[in-house]
DNA sequence: TTAGGGTTAG
């Protein structure tokens, strides 16, 4: 935009030739449009002295300039000038100031302006609603929508897309959606993407998809919304499908798309696809969020080498970068390095947050460092003001449990500030299993089943504990109880990426095109392992079958099939990376250790909780999981 | 003058 007209500038005037009112205002206008903040401010002070005011549009240009330069002090001076000596700015200009204060994070000042406004239009209301939505003051945002309607002001698409961000409750969201349809604003792309996002945040992916599919003209943000929706709700497959469709529709991936795609790769443990995405990330190498997602992808896909490289090269790191790397090292069994990195983080001046401490305690738990764990746990609040939450207690229970201090672990559960949940009790159940404390296991399992009566994993774990202790009657009782309650054990499933394709193996499913070859290979492998002294550990079979039949059931666990397929299909130098839906059983754990040694391969199995790096007959988990 | 999409644990 060009200034309306030009006059000699202020700095050419002197005492003998004082500037005229019009030239003063013109100069001010010019400096504002030229975004020359120092000269505009100088002119403003002269105007103040001469009791002159410019037009609203010019002030709004100056405010834009203050916002761009984060010049809060100057912005306040403009505010004082505009509101001085009884001058009453128009609604338009007050809106501009309100928006300015919101952007500067000064919500209270914006509120005060809003309250004192003689007249409020749709922009005034929307500015406040948007501010409350951003500040997560959701009730306030919704309350203002009602107040606005009561005031007789009609909300527009800006208002609805703002208020939607404040709606995290599906019931309220659906009501709002109805109103939006009724007033005919559903076709607006901003409203649509806000709707998609709200449905996604409420966990209703189908709702999000319906809104998406109804759109005739989709823009790239809407594509990003729907891809993000699926990626964030652990539906990586569908997120990647949508990404393919987005490209087919002629759209290019930007930072947001790539972040979601990386998240999908991370969830599915697709290292090779993740690497391909990495190539596209290179052009946005200064994007912190994207780099953090990349870092996480490498950590969770088992490539700590790549993660370390990325972390080292990052020009900017925030608390998420540090936390991701610390947790990544810890989850992959490199506890000492995780703790060293935490020390480095503190030295760098970065303050850890709640999640950082989960990673640190997880590292201690993994390495069995009881004393260090207690120290970190107790100093969290003191040093960083972080109150320990369930996740931190969970790590400590794990840590104490691993060290065989089951009584201390139980005491800690009782001392928790927050109510223990199923995850807490599961940590205790896991520890009881390792240390074969049947009574405590039974107690922990009861607590879990009170909170989550359909939890098949707990029945299985308890059944395994009974099986370990040859309590076959109890094993049978569990099976009966599961049948009565209609609890079905989710079949074990393992996935492996070969040639950029995902191959799934499910216990008992023989649909893989090479299944005969895989079984043949597996049988040969087992024979060679048996010759080396491998005895299948039949304690991990849920069914109380006998003899050879029990071994067969174990032999076909999905991760074994995936390991064999990996050996058959992947070059020797590539690690065999497998993702599992259930926790790995003891027999598969021994099997993977021995195969890694015998075949000279690196095998990584990621279960829902832990990562197992098998190399040279050892596992990074230290045989505790 | 007001609006939409992306990252760490569990």
Domain spans of chain A, in order of start: 1-87, 320-388, 412-489, 494-619
pLDDT above 70 for A585: yes
Q: Residue A157, CB, less than 7 Å from strand B? A: yes
Which of A577 and A550 is assigned the larger pLDDT?
A577
Which nucleotide lies closest to A293 by the C1' atom and the CA atom?
B7
Q: Residue A67, CB, less than 7 Å from strand B? A: no
Contact A140, A134 (CB under 8 A): no
Q: How far apart, in whole angstroms, are the C-alpha atoms of residue A174 and residue A180?
A: 10
Q: How far apart, in whole angstroms, are the C-alpha atoms of residue A540 and residue A467?
A: 8
Report residue A588 as tokens. Answer: 């598969």
What DSSP string runs through A263-317? HHHHHHT-HHHHHHHHHHHGGGTT-HHHHHHHHHHHHHTT-HHHHHHHHHH-S--
Burial class of residue A343 (count of CB atoms within 10 Å of its CB; 0-12, 13-18, 19+)? exposed
Which nucleotide lies closest to A157 by the C1' atom and the CA atom?
B3
Q: How far apart, in whole angstroms, are the C-alpha atoms of residue A191 and residue A465?
A: 53
Q: Distance, angstroms, CA A510 to C1' B5?
A: 41
Q: Distance, angstroms, CA A220 to C1' B2?
A: 22
Pairing verdict, β A603-606 and A576-580: parallel
Q: Which of residues 183-242 of A touch strand B (CB under 7 A)?
A: 188-194, 197, 219-222, 224-225, 228, 231-232
- Percent of chain A residues past pLDDT 90, beyond the cut: 74
Q: Residue A104, CB, less than 7 Å from strand B? A: no
Residue A179's pLDDT band, with cuts at 50, 70 and 90, is very high
**Taking the CA atoms of chain A, what radius of gyration do you get in angstroms?**
31
At A208 the pLDDT is: 96
Rounded alpha-carbon distances, angstroms, from residue A86 to A76, A81, A82, A83, A115: 17, 10, 9, 7, 17
Residue A11's pLDDT band, with cuts at 50, 70 and 90, is very low
Q: Residue A330, CB, less than 7 Å from strand B? A: no
- List pLDDT tens digits, range A306-323: 999 999 999 999 999 999
Report residue A586 as tokens. Answer: 């003891």
Rounded alpha-carbon distances, angstroms, from residue A617 to A296, A587, A605: 27, 14, 14
Q: Distance, angstroms, CA A258 to C1' B5?
A: 11
A224 three-class SS: helix
Those nucleotides of strand B lying less than 7 Å from any protein Cβ are: 1-10
Q: How far apart, in whole angstroms, are the C-alpha atoms of residue A419 and residue A451?
A: 11
Q: Distance, angstroms, CA A366 to C1' B6?
A: 31
At A538 the pLDDT is: 65
Of A307, A353, A354, nearest in space to A334 by CA = A307
Provide the residue count of chain A.
Answer: 625
- List pLDDT tens digits, range A346-376: 999 999 999 999 999 999 998 999 999 999 9
Q: Residue A159, CB, less than 7 Å from strand B? A: yes
Say which CATH topology domain A412-489 has: 1.25.40
The protein residue nearest nucleotide B3, judged by CA to C1', is A158
Residue A253's pLDDT band, with cuts at 50, 70 and 90, is very high
Which of A364 and A471 is assigned the larger pLDDT?
A364
DSSP A608: S
pLDDT above 70 for A233: yes
> Please, what is the Cα angle at A344 between A338 and A349, to 5 degrees?
130
Q: Residue A263, CB, less than 7 Å from strand B? A: yes
Q: Distance, angstroms, CA A12 to C1' B1?
A: 34
Q: How far apart, in whole angstroms, are the C-alpha atoms of residue A382 and residue A570?
A: 50
The protein residue nearest nucleotide B4, judged by CA to C1', is A190
At A85 the pLDDT is: 81
A458 three-class SS: helix
The protein residue nearest nucleotide B10, judged by CA to C1', is A391
At A464 the pLDDT is: 77
Tokens 């299985």 found at: A460
A371 three-class SS: helix
Query: For A612, phi and psi rounded to 5 degrees?
Result: -120, 115
pLDDT above 50 for A12: no
pLDDT above 50 for A8: no
Q: How far apart, in whole angstroms, are the C-alpha atoms of residue A395 and residue A357?
A: 10
- Sheet strands (E) in A136-260: none
* Paired strand residues for A483: none
- List pLDDT tens digits, range A70-118: 999 999 999 999 998 878 899 999 999 999 999 999 999 999 999 999 9
Which nucleotide lies closest to A281 by the C1' atom and the CA atom?
B6
Q: At what angle do helices A370-384 and A354-367 cross, to 10 degrees?
A: 170
Q: Distance, angstroms, CA A26 to C1' B7?
A: 47
Q: Residue A522, Cα to own-chain centre: how many angstroms? A: 38
């Amino acid at each position: 935009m060009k200034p309306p007209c030009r006059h000699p500038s202020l700095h050419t005037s002197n005492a003998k030739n004082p500037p005229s009112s019009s030239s003063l205002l013109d100069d001010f206008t010019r400096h504002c449009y030229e975004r020359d903040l120092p000269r505009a401010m100088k002119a403003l002070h002269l105007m103040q002295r001469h009791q002159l005011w410019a037009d609203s549009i010019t002030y709004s240009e100056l405010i834009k300039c203050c916002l761009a330069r984060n010049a809060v002090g100057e912005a306040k001076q403009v505010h004082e000038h505009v509101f001085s000596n009884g001058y009453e700015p128009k609604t338009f200009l007050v809106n501009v100031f309100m928006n300015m204060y919101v952007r500067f994070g000064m919500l209270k000042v914006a509120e005060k302006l809003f309250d004192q406004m003689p007249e409020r239009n749709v922009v005034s209301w929307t500015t406040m609603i948007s501010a409350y939505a951003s500040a997560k003051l959701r009730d306030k945002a919704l309350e203002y929508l009602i107040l606005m309607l009561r005031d007789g002001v009609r909300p527009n698409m800006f208002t609805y897309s703002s208020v939607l961000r404040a709606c995290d409750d599906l019931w309220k969201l659906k009501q709002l959606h109805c109103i939006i349809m009724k007033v005919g604003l559903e076709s607006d792309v901003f409203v649509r993407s806000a709707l998609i996002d709200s449905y996604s945040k409420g966990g209703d992916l189908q709702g999000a998809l319906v809104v998406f599919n109804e759109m005739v003209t989709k823009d790239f943000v809407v594509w990003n919304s729907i891809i993000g929706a699926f990626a964030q709700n652990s539906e990586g497959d569908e997120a990647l499908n949508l990404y393919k469709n987005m490209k087919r529709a002629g759209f290019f991936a930007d930072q947001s798309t790539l972040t979601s795609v990386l998240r999908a790769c991370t969830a599915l443990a697709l290292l090779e696809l993740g690497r391909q995405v990495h190539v596209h990330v290179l052009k946005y190498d200064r994007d912190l969020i994207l780099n953090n997602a990349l870092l996480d992808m490498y950590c969770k896909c088992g490539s700590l080498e790549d993660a370390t490289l990325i972390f080292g090269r990052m020009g900017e790191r925030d608390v998420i970068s540090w936390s991701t790397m610390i947790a990544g090292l810890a989850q992959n069994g490199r506890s000492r390095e995780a703790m060293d990195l935490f020390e480095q983080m503190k030295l760098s001046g970065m303050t850890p947050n709640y999640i950082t401490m989960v990673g640190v305690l997880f590292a201690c738990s993994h390495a069995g460092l009881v004393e260090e764990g207690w120290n970190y746990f107790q100093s969290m609040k003191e040093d960083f003001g972080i109150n320990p939450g369930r996740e931190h207690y969970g790590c400590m229970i794990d840590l104490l449990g691993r060290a065989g201090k089951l009584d201390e672990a139980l005491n800690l559960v009782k001392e928790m500030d927050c109510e223990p949940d199923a995850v807490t009790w599961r940590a205790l159940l896991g520890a009881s299993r390792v240390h074969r404390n049947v009574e405590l296991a039974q107690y922990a399992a009861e607590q879990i089943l009170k909170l989550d009566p359909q939890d098949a994993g707990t029945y299985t774990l308890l059944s395994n504990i009974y099986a370990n202790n040859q309590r076959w009657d109890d094993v049978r009782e569990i099976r009966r109880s599961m049948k009565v309650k209609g609890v079905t054990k989710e079949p074990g499933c393992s996935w492996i990426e070969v040639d950029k394709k995902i191959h799934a193996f499910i216990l008992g499913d023989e649909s893989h095109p090479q299944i005969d070859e895989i079984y043949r290979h597996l049988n040969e492998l087992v024979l060679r392992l048996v010759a080396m002294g491998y005895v299948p550990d039949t304690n991990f079979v849920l069914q109380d079958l006998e003899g050879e039949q029990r071994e067969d059931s174990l032999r076909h666990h999905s991760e074994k099939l995936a390991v064999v397929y990996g050996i058959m299909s992947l070059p020797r130098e590539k690690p065999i990376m497998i993702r599992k839906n259930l926790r790995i059983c003891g027999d598969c754990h021994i099997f993977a250790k021995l195969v890694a040694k015998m075949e000279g391969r690196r095998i990584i199995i990621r279960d829902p909780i832990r990562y197992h790096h098998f190399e040279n007959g050892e596992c990074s988990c230290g045989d505790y999981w």
